[in-house]
Structure 1
Amino acid sequence: MAGLNVSIAFFFLVVGVCQVLRCLSKRLLSPGTYGCLARELAGSLQLCMSYLELRMLVDIGPWGGGFGPDVVLTLLFLLFMVHGASFDGASANPTICLQEFLLLESNLAATAAKLLAQGAGTGTGWAVTKLYWSWELTHFHFIQNLIASECSSSIHTSLHHATFVEGTCSFLFHLVLLKLRQSHPMYRVPSLAATVTFLTYTAGPFTGAFFNPALATAATFHCLGSSFWDYVQVYWLGPLTGMLAALLLYQGNIPRLFQKNLLYSQRSKYKIPKTRMVAHVDSDRSPQKRKGEKSDSKPRA
């Protein structure tokens, strides 16, 4: 278990360093620069390094460390709880940035800056993690260095099925995200962490369950077994299609592209037709009117 303890210490170190980076950049940079660049770069760096170390435990842990998937899934849930609490609003996911752009919550320049920061963060995270593995602090890292040059593709099913799996994972993740985006972090963070853990457990054997184009690019695009365009179809087009489907189902439209609601009626269910209201008023007044007519028909003394 010594190797697992080193990995847990690495997770704490990554989160601590990225938190310091966020605090310093928040003080030194303007709010716009921090929100578009520094915050996304720190979040993507934290996510990429944590995921690569966790994936190494998934690949080597069962036969090299003697622990099963329950340990890795527990670590995954706890890591995403920490990510949700420490990201300070960063998405670290290109599909979330594009979703915010389509919802008119971000302009084109800010979205492009976030995408560049996410790419830089994941690329830096991959390079730093490779350097950390080269130190071979545990036997896990020693084995990882031996097999790193011959890593295989994460696609373990047909291309169309893999695209469907990544698209479905992205669809469910974004649907939960849209439903909970206005909720209190106390409820949103564990719900999203549980969703990611469940999707990883279900879809992991087929595609690795990335549903994050930037993370998938850093983690698996360099591995043999699939072409670049296969990776693009599965890990870029699949999650993007799932996000668009979730947004269309939840909103009924895509605000950046068109305002008309295609799925849901805009009429209020509490609106009462005017003719019915008039008839109702007339029916309420008719007894009083008849009563008044009877009283007028009585002879006066």
Structure 2
Amino acid sequence: MKFSIDVLGVFLKVVVKINKVTFAPLVVSTLFILLTSLLAHCARRAVQKLVKEPFVKLLFEEAIAAAELCGCCFELIIIADNFGVATYAIYLFALTIWWSLNWGDATACPYTHIEDVIEGKGDIRKSLLKTWAELTGGLLVFKYVQMYWALEISETHKDKAIEDCKADLQVPVIYGAIVEGVATCFYRLASKSLGDLSPRFATAIDAFIGTSLVVAAFDYSGGYFNPVLATSLKAGCEGHSLLEHAVVYWVGACTGSILSVYLYKLPVIQNYIRGTTVVNGDSIWADKDD
């Protein structure tokens, strides 16, 4: 272990020295993401210790999760713009795994609550309160991001704190809504399947599928697949109206999510799930002996 750490240290020193101008801004972005995740983790632990009422605790956890998600994704935009989509995808993949392991029952995503209502696992009032908590966390976190950007520690943050944002939608509104809806539907179907099949490395597989879909939609709608995330990062930005934003990122994503609930109940899908669980034709499944 010590040898590995020493080698990594030497490697980083060489890289920073040779390519300081390019590498340093990425380090700054990485440190911001780590700081944001650490603060969210501490806030989550504090809530778990101080708040006793389960639903109130969940509301705080939803707000924290949404703030962490949106805060990190603000910086991921910087990474994508300056270091490419491939680098962005690596960071998103790692963060998705981290969020899956640390958020508990929080989702930071409104349409999961809609799914619960449809399936009889939740009620409308609680779903609306969860969505309100998520929006609160997602919108308030920009002030924190803005303070960090205003320091202009690296060139990639120059003027970002005061810069007017631009919409990511690169296609007509209806096409954007279809992209968000179809990708959300596919992702939710995959997540439900992984939840029932419980394969080995389910979290990593889920993160890979989600990241792949985001990258595929990146040049069309931005690939948000989460209304709160899209609202926090892009609502009111130049390029579309608030109504168009709502159609693409709220109506599109929520419609895809609702559709996934009914598609997943189709006999052809359920028969496949039950058959796979019994047969175990691949070694990634949890109860398959290697």
Superposition TM-score tier, normalisation by shorter sequence? 0.7 to 0.9
Contact 1:36 1:113 in 2 (8 A): no
Contact 1:122 1:218 in 2 (8 A): yes
Task: Report the counterpart of residue 96 of structure 2 in structure 1.
Answer: 80
Task: Report the counterpart of residue 256 of structure 2 in structure 1.
Answer: 242
Residues in 2 aligned to 1:131 and 1:31: alpha-carbon distance in whole angstroms: 33
Show structure 1 runs of 5+ residues with no match. Answer: 62-66, 253-260, 266-301
Q: Give the letter for the 1:128 counterpart.
A: Y
Task: Report the counterpart of residue 111 of structure 1 in structure 2.
Answer: 127
Q: Give the letter for the 1:42 counterpart.
A: I
Task: Report the counterpart of residue 275 of structure 1 in structure 2.
Answer: none
Residues in 1 aligned to 2:78 and 2:262: alpha-carbon distance in whole angstroms: 36
Contact 2:71 2:145 in 1 (8 A): yes
Residues in 2 aligned to 1:75 and 1:210: alpha-carbon distance in whole angstroms: 15
Contact 2:176 2:248 in 1 (8 A): yes
Following superposition of structure 1 onto structure 2, how do residues 273-284 of structure 1 map, counting pairs within 5 Å? none
Under a length normalisation based on structure 2, what TM-score does the superposition of the two structures give?
0.80
Superposition misfits of 4+ residues, deviation over 4 angstroms: 182-186
The percent identity for this pair of structures is 24
1:131 aligns with 2:144: no
Highest Rg: 1 or 2?
1
How far off its partner does 1:201 sit? 1.1
**RMSD between superposed Cα atoms in Å:** 2.1
Task: Report the counterpart of residue 276 of structure 1 in structure 2.
Answer: none
Contact 1:170 1:211 in 2 (8 A): yes
Aligned with 1:208 (options 218, 222, 227): 222
Following superposition of structure 1 onto structure 2, how do residues 224-243 of structure 1 map, counting pairs within 5 Å? 224-243=238-257
Residues in 2 aligned to 1:44 and 1:182: alpha-carbon distance in whole angstroms: 26
1:189 aligns with 2:211: no
Task: Report the counterpart of residue 14 of structure 1 in structure 2.
Answer: 36
How far off its partner does 1:241 sit? 0.9
Under a length normalisation based on structure 1, what TM-score does the superposition of the two structures give?
0.77
Residues in 2 aligned to 1:134 and 1:31: alpha-carbon distance in whole angstroms: 38
How far off its partner does 1:145 sit? 3.7
| Per-residue deviation, residues 8-51 of structure 1 (Å, max 9, x unmatched) | 11111111111111111111112523553111011101100001
Residues 207, 36 of structure 1: alpha-carbon distance in 2 compared, 3 angstrom cutoff: same
Show structure 2 runs of 5+ residues with no match. Answer: 1-22, 272-290
How far off its partner does 1:81 sit? 1.0
Count of residue pairs brought into register by the alignment: 248
Residues in 1 aligned to 2:47 and 2:196: alpha-carbon distance in whole angstroms: 26
Residues in 1 aligned to 2:270 and 2:73: alpha-carbon distance in whole angstroms: 39
Q: Give the letter for the 2:231 counterpart.
A: T
Following superposition of structure 1 onto structure 2, how do residues 134-213 of structure 1 map, counting pairs within 5 Å? 134-145=150-161, 148-149=163-164, 151-182=165-196, 184=198, 187-213=201-227
